[in-house]
Amino acid sequence: MKMIITPGWLRNKIETAPDTEIEAGIPVMMLESIGMFLPRESAEEPAEDERLVRLKHAFGVFIRNLRLTRELPVEALAECAHIDATELYAIENDPHYVTKPRTVYQLANFFGINLKKMMELSGATQTYDESLEEEALKFAAKSDGVSSLNKEEHEILNEYVKFLNEH
Amino acid sequence: MTTKRTMTLNLSAQEMAVLERLASEKGVSKTGLVRQALRLYQSVTERLDRGDKLFVEDAEKEEKAEIMVL
Amino acid sequence: MKQLLGIFPLRNLHTGEYEDAELYMPIDGQNVEDFETRWRPLLDERKANLAPHETTASANIQDAHWKWREKTATRNNRMDYASFSVECGGTTQGLMFVRTIDFARESSQLNQFLIYVDLVSTAPWNRPGFTDNRLYSGVGPLLLGTAINFSIDQGFDGRIGLHSLPQSESWYRDQCRMTDLGPDANYPNNLCYFEMTAAQAHTYITT
């Protein structure tokens, strides 16, 4: 193969546009640990028990409230986080919806939430963490579902974010 | 991949027309298209040798038909 | 037998100095050995630390591991695959598999041949997401530049395509200026598909 790229070109790239994460293709083991690469069938069809539906409902409320604190319409958040607006709508409104791992990653990244906890909350990975479930259900119960958050809801949301990131 | 050998390929006018059209559509030279065809043929043959089957699917009717590769 | 394609500088972030790295094709047994004995233990260790309670899921995940040894052995005899490695400091720093019979999806180059980057990965000690004390910088741009170079060499004008891992999307989108064609419903885990046009490739390897 005739080389066109040169040592000087690479040196310039390193100095002007440093590489960050470059991984492409599957699977990369790092992400398996947070459930990004569960076998396809189990990722798409998790056993849907009542507990999981409740957890996913809490996840939907959580995402909706995070969105409202930023005063972002569904379409705007979808654009900012590079996800599909239809999927975001489903996450917020349908507790039976199976959120795709990539979407959870994008949302966790955008809102600065612990990815592993978000994966568990969304139902993308299984959790045996009872306190996560307990806190999620408490959080969802305290949200009234209207289109803006009151002061108390803001505080509850902030506490819950703190819980997820520090737990 | 480094040492290359040259061969002459005799094609009919129709074959040459198809080669030229496909090369243009696929954004490669005529030699490049023949090389790609060979790669594809090797890839398909190897899979068939392993016992895989090759299908084409009609997107509208969702019908699948098996392709016999010789 | 592997062929030395060139010597390129990588920046050692511990010393601040540049070191000579060798770019080879294809991936050989020593690269696989490095992956098994040097990369994998670190990746497995991190995995264990990240998810202590996910034992069942982890057991299932084992099957999904990239089978480097097996893939390398079979693909090295195939013409529809090519592979590359970057070696520096006595070990493998980056690996890449590409496929040569794929078609472009971006509208301006629809159905034209491109080089599809099937897998590109750097050693864990070079990844910002893995360690705060990275060793080498430059492996990623070198491998991406190599994919473009290979595409030009094959007569594909620099066109390449790949499915990015979520944490790498911004690099491909913002740094490499590839076209983001969005999550691919037909790819496992709906990873985002990116494509580089001939013009974008030309810009990437000349600036």
pLDDT in tens, C152-196: 999 999 999 999 988 889 899 999 999 999 999 888 778 899 999
CA atoms of A15 and A32, how far apart (whole Å): 32
Which tens digit of pLDDT belongs to each residue from C101-114?
Answer: 999 999 999 999 99
Q: What is the mean pLDDT of chain C?
A: 86
Residue spans of alpha helices (H) in chain C: 29-34, 40-50, 55-61, 68-75, 139-153, 169-170, 198-206
CB contact C107 to A (< 8 Å): no
pLDDT (0 to 100) of residue C162: 96
Q: Is B23 on the interface with C (CB under 8 A)?
A: no
Element (H, E) at C113: strand C113-122
The kind and range of the H/E element at C116 are strand C113-122
Least confident of A68-72, A124-128, C1-5, C150-154: A124-128
Classify the C-alpha dihedral A35-A38-A44-A46 as positive or negative: negative
Tell me which residue in B25, B27, B40 faces C101 most closely, judged by beta carbons.
Answer: B40
Residues in chain A within 8 Å Cβ distance of C97 = 25
By the 8 A CB rule, do C68 and C36 touch? yes
* Nearest residue of chain B to residue C197 (CA atoms): B27
pTM: 0.76
- ipTM confidence score: 0.90
Q: How far apart are CA C80 and CA C116, in angstroms?
A: 10
Domain that holds residue B20: 13-66
Q: Residue ranges of the domains in chain C?
A: 3-206
Q: Please report where in the chains the tokens 């289109």 appear, as a residue.
A: A147
pLDDT above 60 for C31? yes
Is the predicted pLDDT of residue A99 greater than 60, yes or no?
yes
Tell me, yes or no, whether B39 lies in a domain: yes
Q: Which of C160, C196, C155 is nearest to B24 (CA)?
A: C155
Query: What pLDDT does C11 receive?
Result: 95
**Region of C158 on the Ramachandran plot (φ > 0 left; ψ -120 to 50 alpha; else beta):** left
DSSP C109: G
In a domain, B2, yes or no: no
Q: pLDDT class for A126, splitting at 50, 70, 90?
A: low
Nearest one of A42, A45, A134, A122 to A88, comparing CA atoms: A122
B43 inside domain: yes
Of the two residues B14 and A32, the one the predictor is more confident about is B14
Closest CA to C167 of C140, C147, C185, C145: C140
- Identity of the highest mean pLDDT range in C39-48, C71-80, C100-109: C100-109
Residue B8 maps to a domain: no
Give the CATH number of domain A39-166: 1.10.260.40
Residue B36 lies in a domain: yes
Phi-psi region of C160 (alpha: psi -120 to 50; beta: other; left: phi over 0): beta
Q: Answer whether residue B48 is part of any domain.
A: yes
| CB within 8 Å: C5 and A84 | no
Q: Please indicate if any CB of chain C lies within 8 Å of the CB of B38.
A: yes
CB contact B57 to C (< 8 Å): no
Structure tokens at A119: 């994966």
Task: Please name the fold of domain C3-206.
Answer: Aminopeptidase (3.40.630)
Rounded to the nearest integer, the mean pLDDT of chain B is 85
Average of per-residue pLDDT across B36-56? 87
Query: Which chain A residues are closer than 8 Å to C145 by Cβ?
Result: 5, 9-10, 13
Q: Give the mean model confidence (pLDDT) for residues C82-106.
A: 95
Q: What residues in A contact C42, CB-CB < 8 Å?
A: none
Total count of domains within chain B:
1
pLDDT tens for B7-23 read 999 999 999 999 999 99
Return phi, psi of residue A130, to 5°.
-65, -35
Evaluate if residue B51 carries a pLDDT over 80: yes
Q: Mapping DSSP to helix (H, G, I), strand (E, B) and coil, where does residue C101 land?
A: strand
Domain ranges, ordered by start, for chain A: 39-166
C-alpha span between C116 and C151 (Å, rounded)? 9
- Asked if the C-beta of B34 comes within 8 angstroms of chain C's C-beta atoms, the answer is no
CB atoms within 10 A of CB C160: 27
